[in-house]
């Protein structure tokens, strides 16, 4: 979709892929990148905060287990 010039659709597809596997950092970063390219800044901030929250909880759990 990006190469076709439809940045909003590319961002929507990236967000759909991200929502299928929230722990995948590559998909998360691609989703944020596509949202920034489509000027969806408010949605991007929500996604970044959500990804950061998941990363924090994973790190916290790994510290508590060890």
pTM higher than 0.75, yes or no? no
Domain ranges of the chain: 7-65
Per-residue pLDDT of the chain (66 residues; tens, 9 = 90+): 666 678 889 889 988 988 888 788 888 888 888 888 888 776 667 777 777 777 777 777 777 776
Q: How far apart are CA 29 and CA 6, in angstroms?
A: 19
Question: Residue 1: its pLDDT value, please?
Answer: 63
Report the pLDDT value the prediction gives residue 53, as an integer from 0 to 100: 78
**What pLDDT does residue 3 have?**
62
φ and ψ of 42, to 5 deg: -65, -45
pLDDT value of residue 22:
79
How many beta carbons lie within 10 A of that of residue 50, not counting itself? 13
């Amino acid at each position: 979709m990006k190469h076709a010039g439809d940045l909003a659709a590319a961002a929507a597809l990236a967000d759909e892929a991200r929502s299928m596997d929230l722990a995948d950092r590559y998909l998360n970063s691609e989703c944020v990148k596509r949202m920034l390219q489509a000027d969806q800044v408010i949605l991007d901030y929500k996604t970044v905060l959500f990804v950061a929250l998941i990363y924090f909880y994973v790190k916290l759990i790994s510290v508590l287990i060890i």
